[in-house]
């Protein structure tokens, strides 16, 4: 693969980094990242990955842009209200960087489609930008079963958390969190609110992890949960261990079929 | 005995960030939760000295107990 003059210019600040260079930039351009949820977390992650020159970006979301999304979902804009989020996301990415091939899936993930979506482009890395526990467990289980690395994240109010799963290199989301909390015990962002920048801070950490994984540089958040409290302006990492008896990634896994947990209607 | 209780994210609301508690010998993780008015099913991670702890775990002098709620928004 050869760069055009325009690409040399566009990616010059990446290429100048020893850890990236021409080789690394080519790797990024040949990489494929799937972003599930084009909301608070997925929006900034998608924009930074597109800007970085990740060659293929998949966007999954069944929803349409709502005015109440724009307080944090910065990939969308006022003129896009009512449009499918994946279409709005594609336009914003194409505007930012026409090098990126955007693949859209206007659907909610479920046990019926997630495997096919991940396999569709044989994505290298998956970003969980969803807003509910059933989807988070589904993404974890699908990624573990398909041996795909992914970044988990969750945000609410002034708080956020994120961890990275790489097959064979530490715990999966289920090792740590076991099962979704019972429905109606945990409020959603719609009910509890979320500071707009929370998705920006945590979603860009997810994008950082994706880029690092694709380039093979640095230390990922494997075996560590990064927790962020914006009110205290405090980041800390909690060390996490794999669970030998984890039903999906443990020594004798029993979970072979994906589960659709009871899902509350909520907005991405 | 003294145990340091650390709360994270929404558990801090109306409670505290970090407090040292004087507990009777034999006090368990479940008793601390009960005093905090946090139901076990509301906890996503409970650690004692950085390790996963069961509800019945008996706390020791100098232990650090940390509680995290589920955070699942996007």
Could you tell me if residue A26 is inside a domain? no
The Cα of A160 is separated from the nearest Cα of chain B by a number of Å equal to 7
Could you tell me if residue A266 is inside a domain? no
Positions of chain A with pLDDT under 70: 263-268
Taking CB atoms and an 8 Å limit, are B45 and A238 in contact across chains? Answer: yes
pLDDT value, residue A264 = 56
Q: Which domains does chain B have, with CATH numbers?
A: 2-68 (3.10.20.30)
State the count of interchain CB pairs (< 8 A) between A and B.
83
Could you tell me if residue A258 is inside a domain? no
The domain spanning residue A127 has which CATH number?
3.40.50.720
Could you tell me if residue A12 is inside a domain? no
Count of structural domains within chain A: 1
Could you tell me if residue A102 is inside a domain? yes
Interface confidence (ipTM) of the complex: 0.90
Residues 13 to 72 of B: which have CB under 8 A from any A CB?
17, 39, 41-42, 44-45, 47, 50-52, 66, 68-72
The Cα of B58 is separated from the nearest Cα of chain A by a number of Å equal to 21
Q: How do residues A17-76 score in pLDDT, each as one tens digit?
A: 999 999 999 999 999 999 999 999 999 999 999 999 999 999 999 999 999 999 999 999
The CA dihedral of A154, A155, A156, A160, to the nearest 10 degrees, is: 110
Q: Which one of A155, A227, A232 has the shortest CB-CB distance to B73? A: A155
Residues of chain A neighbouring B9 (CB-CB closer than 8 A): 156-157, 159, 161, 227, 229
Which chain A residue shows the shortest CA-CA distance from B39? A185
**Residue B68 pLDDT exceeds 70:** yes
Rounded CA-CA distance A58/A36 in Å is 8
Taking CB atoms and an 8 Å limit, are A185 and B42 in contact across chains? Answer: yes
Strand order in the sheet with A125-128: A101-105, A56-60, A32-36, A125-128, A150-156, A159-165, A224-229, A234-239
**Residue B48 pLDDT exceeds 90:** yes
pLDDT value, residue A266 = 47
Q: Is residue B18 helix, strand or coil?
A: strand
Residues of chain A neighbouring B15 (CB-CB closer than 8 A): none
Chain B contact present for A207, CB below 8 A: no
Q: How do residues B49-64 score in pLDDT, each as one tens digit?
A: 999 999 999 999 999 9
Which chain A residue shows the shortest CA-CA distance from B66? A238
Q: Share the mean pLDDT of chain B.
A: 96
A48, HSE (Cβ side, Cα atoms, 13 Å): 20
**Residue B14 pLDDT exceeds 90:** yes
Q: Is residue A137 helix, strand or coil?
A: helix
Could you tell me if residue A61 is inside a domain? yes
Q: In 10 A of CB A207, how many CB atoms? A: 25
Rounded CA-CA distance A179/A162 in Å is 17
Specify the residue for token string 């990064």: A226
Boundaries of domain holding A111: 31-239
* Residue A164 · residue A150 · CB < 8 Å: yes
Taking CB atoms and an 8 Å limit, are B71 and A159 in contact across chains? Answer: yes
* Residue A120 · residue A107 · CB < 8 Å: no
Could you tell me if residue A268 is inside a domain? no
Rounded CA-CA distance A86/A174 in Å is 28
Chain B contact present for A62, CB below 8 A: no
pLDDT value, residue A263 = 67
């Amino acid at each position: 693969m050869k760069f055009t003059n325009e690409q040399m210019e566009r990616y010059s600040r990446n290429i100048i980094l020893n850890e990236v260079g021409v080789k690394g930039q080519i790797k990024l351009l040949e990489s494929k990242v799937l972003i599930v949820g084009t909301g608070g977390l997925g929006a900034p992650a998608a924009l930074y990955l597109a800007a970085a020159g990740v060659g293929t970006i998949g966007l999954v979301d069944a929803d349409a842009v709502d005015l109440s999304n724009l307080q944090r979902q910065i990939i969308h804009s006022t003129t896009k209200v009512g449009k499918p989020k994946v279409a709005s996301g594609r336009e914003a990415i194409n505007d930012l960087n026409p090098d990126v091939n955007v693949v859209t899936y206007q659907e909610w993930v479920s046990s019926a489609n997630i495997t096919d979506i991940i396999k569709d482009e044989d994505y290298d890395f998956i970003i969980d930008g969803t807003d509910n526990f059933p989807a988070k467990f589904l993404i974890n289980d699908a990624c573990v079963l398909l041996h795909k690395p992914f970044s988990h994240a969750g945000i609410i109010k002034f708080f956020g958390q994120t961890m990275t799963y790489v097959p064979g290199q530490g715990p999966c989301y289920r090792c740590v969190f076991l099962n979704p909390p019972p429905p109606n015990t945990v409020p959603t962002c719609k009910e509890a609110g979320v500071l707009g920048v929370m998705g920006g801070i945590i979603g860009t950490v997810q994008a950082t992890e994706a880029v690092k994984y694709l380039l093979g540089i640095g230390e990922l958040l494997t075996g560590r949960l990064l927790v962020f409290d914006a009110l205290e302006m405090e980041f800390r990492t909690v060390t996490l261990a794999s669970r030998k008896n984890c039903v999906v990634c443990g020594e004798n896994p029993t979970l072979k079929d994906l589960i659709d947990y009871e899902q509350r209607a909520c907005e991405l | 005995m003294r145990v340091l209780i650390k709360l994270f994210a929404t558990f801090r609301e109306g409670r505290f960030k970090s407090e040292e508690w004087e507990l009777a010998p034999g006090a368990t993780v479940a008793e601390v939760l009960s005093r905090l008015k946090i139901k076990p099913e509301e906890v996503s991670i409970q650690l004692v000295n950085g390790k996963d702890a069961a509800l019945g775990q008996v706390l020791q002098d100098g232990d650090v107990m940390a509680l995290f709620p589920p955070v699942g928004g996007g």
